Structure 1
Amino acid sequence: MERLTALPAAFDRYSAIGGVLDFAVFDDSDGSEAEVLEAIEQTLRPALPEDAPFDADALRQSGSRVIGGAEFLGEWFDPEAGQLLKRGTWTLAGGIELEDPLLIDLQGHSVENGSMGLPNVGEGGQFALAFTEPPYGLQAEPLEIQDLFDSIRSFILPGYAITEIRDWTSPALAEVSPYFEAGMEWWGVYLFSLYTPQSRRLTIIAGSTTD
């Protein structure tokens, strides 16, 4: 198993505009639990002090579940339109009120106020939410955010091949690594592994942050 050192430019741009998810991609993987656990630890390490613990046994015991693409993408994605949603009620300049609009429908508009709900911490799924809604927002226009999401999604979930998606998310992740302690406060914790047997590619996605 070998970690890719260079990912498409969309990943760097996503981080530059305030994205908080961590991505790591590994080639020549057999997709075994041992390799997934090793890949998860490698993904978390750069965000932690060198001596920070990682309890692989705790992660193994909390387990994972195989989920489909719809659950992975979650409620902040419209599968029919193939677009990100801005869930909630939003009032634009001029008093126009929108309920759960497509994110791109906000392009060129000023949002005066709004509100949205968040799932319970550790509930699982909701990749689109974690991608688009860091605590301080993404510093880019909706069209660019949608383009970045499309580019990254097509890279980690290639349409030409079957990919097994495992959701390792749970409220117990703080026992696995201090990486997940910040997100337990309110924003959330996320941990996914995506394995494509055809290409022997393993992708890890992790997220945990606070304001």
Structure 2
Amino acid sequence: MLDVILQEESEALRERMEEAGCVFEFIVLAPGVNTLVDESTHRRVLIALHDKLLQDAFDRYHQLIKNPEYKDRTEPEFRWELDKAVATPLSKEEIHNLVLDGDYERGPLALYGHFKEPPYGTKFKGGELEAQELFHEWRQTLGLEEQDGVVVINWVKGFKLEWLDNDDAIPGRESWSDYFDAGLEWWGVWCLTIWNPKRRTLSALIASTTD
């Protein structure tokens, strides 16, 4: 059993991120006391993430169709074929790069770089310091820390970009959701699940966007 937790904190954090222009979505859950956390549990987190993304899309849809101009807009849906998703656990070095807010290795696992630099950029009133503080708070909420036992799984490793040649592309590796279509043009895509045994939290983050 997985229960969504930190909902109020997450919503407040999400609003601040959206206001700054960040494009990441996320969810935080807690497993039952006797739950064995393995790959199948991480996949269940992605199911919960899908449900949240779809609910958010329907909320926006219902607001939109209140305007007569959009009354014929079709209901939102997107492909989410988890059976095709390949789990790639990250190494300690890769997790270290994820948490850095400076001197990180640029590339598909440069989390702070993508947090701060979506296609249209971000605007933090307090500048770099505010960006770093918000990133740190977000990481803490996700349980993304450099601690023994923390497990991070990448679910989008090796996806090929459409407009750019990316060296990390894996031949034959296909996207398992059209949610990623926008990001696969050039900016990139994110989908990680994070297990923090000390805090007993399971979280997921996702991003896909273009200009």
Partners of 1:11 and 1:67 in 2: how far apart?
28
Greater fraction of residues in strand: 1
Deviation at 1:139, TM superposition (A): 1.3
Partners of 1:75 and 1:195 in 2: how far apart?
14
Q: Say if 1:27 and 1:201, in contact at 8 Å, map to a contact too.
A: yes
Q: Percent identity?
A: 24
Question: Do the aligned partners of residues 23 and 210 (structure 1) sit closer, same or farther apart at CA in structure 2, a change above 3 Å counting?
Answer: same
Unpaired segments ≥5 residues, structure 1: 78-82, 88-117
Equivalent position SS for 1:175: coil
**Number of positions where the alignment pairs a residue of Structure 1 with one of Structure 2:** 169
Deviation at 1:159, TM superposition (A): 6.2
Question: Do the aligned partners of residues 73 and 132 (structure 1) sit closer, same or farther apart at CA in structure 2, a change above 3 Å counting?
Answer: farther
Query: What's the TM-score once normalised by structure 1's chain length?
Result: 0.68
Aligned equivalent of 2:95 = 72
Q: Are 1:54 and 2:80 matched, yes or no?
A: yes
Aligned equivalent of 1:41 = 47
Deviation at 1:41, TM superposition (A): 2.8
Among 152, 159, 174, the alignment partner of 2:138 is: 152
Q: Say if 1:162 and 1:196, in contact at 8 Å, map to a contact too.
A: yes
User: After alignment, is 24-33 or 48-57 more displaced?
Assistant: 48-57
What's the RMSD between the two structures over aligned residues?
2.9
Q: Are 1:139 and 2:123 matched, yes or no?
A: yes
Q: Say if 1:27 and 1:202, in contact at 8 Å, map to a contact too.
A: yes
Deviation at 1:161, TM superposition (A): 6.2
Q: Say if 1:84 and 1:146, in contact at 8 Å, map to a contact too.
A: no
Q: Are 1:16 and 2:9 matched, yes or no?
A: no
Question: Do the aligned partners of residues 174 and 3 (structure 1) sit closer, same or farther apart at CA in structure 2, a change above 3 Å counting?
Answer: farther
Partners of 1:76 and 1:85 in 2: how far apart?
11
Aligned equivalent of 2:150 = 163
Q: Say if 2:90 and 2:152, in contact at 8 Å, map to a contact too.
A: yes
Partners of 1:66 and 1:86 in 2: how far apart?
16
Give the residue type in structure 2 aligned to 1:10. Answer: L
Q: Say if 2:87 and 2:153, in contact at 8 Å, map to a contact too.
A: no
Partners of 1:206 and 1:17 in 2: how far apart?
17
Task: Provide Cα deviations, 1:40-75, integer angstroms capped at 9, x if missing partner.
Answer: 13223425565422111101xx2322322x423538
User: Residues 1-211 of structure 1: matches in 2 within 5 Å?
Assistant: 1-4=2-5, 5-8=7-10, 9-28=12-31, 30=35, 31-45=37-51, 46=53, 50-59=76-85, 62-68=86-92, 70-72=93-95, 74=97, 77=100, 83-84=101-102, 119=107, 124-140=108-124, 141-155=127-141, 156-158=143-145, 162-170=149-157, 171=159, 175-211=175-211
Question: Do the aligned partners of residues 66 and 74 (structure 1) sit closer, same or farther apart at CA in structure 2, a change above 3 Å counting?
Answer: closer
Query: What's the TM-score once normalised by structure 2's chain length?
Result: 0.68
Deviation at 1:179, TM superposition (A): 0.8
Partners of 2:199 and 2:104 in 1: how far apart?
33
Q: Say if 1:72 and 1:126, in contact at 8 Å, map to a contact too.
A: no
Partners of 1:161 and 1:191 in 2: how far apart?
22
Equivalent position SS for 2:8: coil
Task: Provide Cα deviations, 1:61-106, integer angstroms capped at 9, x if missing partner.
Answer: x2322322x42353893xxxxx43599xxxxxxxxxxxxxxxxxxx
Unpaired segments ≥5 residues, structure 2: 58-74, 161-172
